[in-house]
């Protein structure tokens, strides 16, 4: 595309928390967002969720791993294609491009390697729509952290808000974006997200998540264990930095022996403590406002813990600003797809540590 015009873009995300696929439609030219369309969340069935879980942390470095990952990748792609078809049948709108993030199974910035399962070419053939995928690869191959990539979208959403402002996205992992008074951006992963809670309650309660933070609010935070969790070397590392979902797995063994409720409370406090620590230590100026989005915005206990730890900052959820937290990540991927079409950068030295602003994404046209 040579002439910049408004594009109808559908974003698809598969959260590291393994809850399912979010799909959201926006109209954008890759700079401004002109309209927010429909958003849907489609949960994975238990079989597909366990298939994805079976390849987490694996690389296609052996024939066995490659075959297993390839099988799951095709299943995940076909599931996304069904989501797209149902979305189009329901909304009846023409879609110009699909942003397809895929599902991250391995992320190792130090090794300049990342792997998201999701076949953009297959999705384009199945849907008949141009697809942009593999957003992280160019950044990480150039020496960046490969994530987070959504800050440029947050900057567009917060353009008319008072600065400095920060947005914390609590998904499977958590990241923060700080936007200064001159529009400058700093972004990095702060540490654990919903994945630590989900893994705990699945293992000890047979539940996929702590719905509305009800377990955590009835439990007691074990402060000594929380202090031990916060001694992870990741927190002493200066930004930019990004993590894999499983980074804190060994540390979280310290929760063993706690009740289901106390473990959920301590894991939830770990998320809030990591966000607060990172905000206070690594941002150049304390933001006036912190907006919470992602799945964490739907957990009142996480929001409560953040307010307890950051009493001097106005903390509100994206809901309170009229933004659908189920949609924002998928909207961001749609936005990134359009930026790729117009060769606009999606990552920057202050967001991922890449040497220069980078265009990211692989374009697949339907055959």
For the chain, give the mean pLDDT: 93
Dihedral of CA 273/330/121/355: which sign? negative
Contact predicate 165/158, CB 8 Å: yes
117: helix, coil or strand?
strand
- List C-alpha distances in Å: 35 to 2, 130, 174, 342, 351: 22, 20, 27, 19, 26
Burial category of 63 from C-beta neighbours within 10 Å (exposed 0-12, middle 13-18, buried 19 and up): exposed
Task: Please tell me the predicted confidence (pLDDT) of residue 322.
Answer: 79
pLDDT per residue over 203-248, tens digit each? 999 998 899 999 999 999 999 999 999 999 999 999 999 888 888 9
Task: Please tell me the predicted confidence (pLDDT) of residue 320.
Answer: 86
Residues 298 and 136: their CA atoms lie apart, in Å, by: 27
* Residue 249 confidence (pLDDT) above 90: no
Q: Which CATH code fits 151-321? A: 3.30.420.40
- The torsion of the CA quartet 106, 108, 109, 114, rounded to 10 degrees, works out to -30
Burial category of 130 from C-beta neighbours within 10 Å (exposed 0-12, middle 13-18, buried 19 and up): buried
> How confident is residue 19, by pLDDT bands cut at 50, 70 and 90?
confident
pLDDT per residue over 275-306, tens digit each? 999 999 999 999 999 999 988 999 999 999 99
Classify 276 in phi/psi space as left (phi over 0), alpha (psi -120 to 50) or beta: alpha
Task: Please tell me the predicted confidence (pLDDT) of residue 2.
Answer: 58
Dihedral of CA 307/309/312/314: which sign? negative
Task: Please tell me the predicted confidence (pLDDT) of residue 154.
Answer: 93
Q: Which of 74, 70, 60, 10 is nearest to 40 (CA)?
A: 10
CATH 3.30.420.40 for the 7-144+327-347+357-364 domain, yes or no: yes
**Per the structure block, which two tokens stand in for 106?**
């391995």
pLDDT per residue over 109-165, tens digit each? 888 899 999 999 999 999 999 999 999 999 999 999 998 999 999 999 998 899 999
Domain with CATH 3.30.420.40 in the chain: 7-144+327-347+357-364, 151-321
> How confident is residue 353, by pLDDT bands cut at 50, 70 and 90?
very high
Burial category of 306 from C-beta neighbours within 10 Å (exposed 0-12, middle 13-18, buried 19 and up): buried
* Residue 1 confidence (pLDDT) above 60: no
């Amino acid at each position: 595309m040579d002439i910049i015009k408004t594009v109808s873009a559908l974003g698809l995300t598969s959260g590291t928390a393994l809850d399912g696929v979010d799909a959201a439609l926006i109209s954008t030219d890759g700079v401004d967002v002109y309209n927010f369309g429909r958003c849907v969340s489609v949960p994975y069935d238990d079989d597909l969720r366990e298939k994805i879980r079976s390849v987490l942390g694996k690389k296609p470095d052996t024939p066995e791993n490659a075959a297993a990952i390839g099988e799951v990748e095709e299943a995940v792609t076909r599931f996304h294609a069904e989501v797209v078809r149902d979305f189009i049948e329901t909304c009846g709108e023409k879609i110009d491009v699909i942003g397809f993030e895929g599902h991250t199974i391995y992320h190792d910035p130090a090794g300049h390697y990342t792997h998201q399962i999701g076949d953009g070419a297959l999705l384009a053939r199945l849907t008949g729509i141009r697809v942009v995928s593999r957003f992280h690869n160019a950044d990480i191959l150039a020496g960046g952290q490969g994530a987070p990539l959504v800050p440029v979208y947050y900057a567009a959403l917060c353009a008319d808000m008072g600065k400095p402002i920060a947005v914390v996205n609590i998904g499977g992992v958590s990241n923060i974006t700080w936007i200064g008074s001159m529009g400058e951006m700093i972004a990095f992963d702060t540490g654990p997200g919903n994945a630590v809670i989900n893994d705990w309650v699945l293992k000890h309660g047979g539940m996929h998540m702590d719905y509305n933070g009800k377990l955590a609010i009835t439990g007691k935070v074990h402060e000594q264990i929380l202090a031990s969790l916060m001694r992870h070397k990741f927190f002493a590392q200066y930004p930019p930095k990004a993590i894999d979902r499983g980074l804190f797995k060994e540390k979280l063994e310290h929760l063993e022996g706690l009740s289901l409720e106390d473990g959920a409370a301590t894991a939830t406090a770990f998320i809030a403590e990591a966000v607060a620590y990172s905000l206070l230590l690594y941002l150049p100026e304390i933001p006036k406002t912190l907006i919470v989005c992602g799945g964490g915005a739907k957990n009142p206990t996480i929001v409560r813990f953040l307010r307890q730890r950051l009493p001097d900052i106005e903390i509100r959820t994206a809901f309170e600003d009229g933004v659908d937290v189920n949609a924002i990540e998928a909207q961001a991927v749609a936005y990134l797809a359009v930026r790729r079409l117009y060769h606009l950068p999606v990552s920057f030295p202050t967001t991922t540590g890449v040497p220069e602003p980078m265009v990211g994404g692989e374009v697949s046209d339907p055959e």
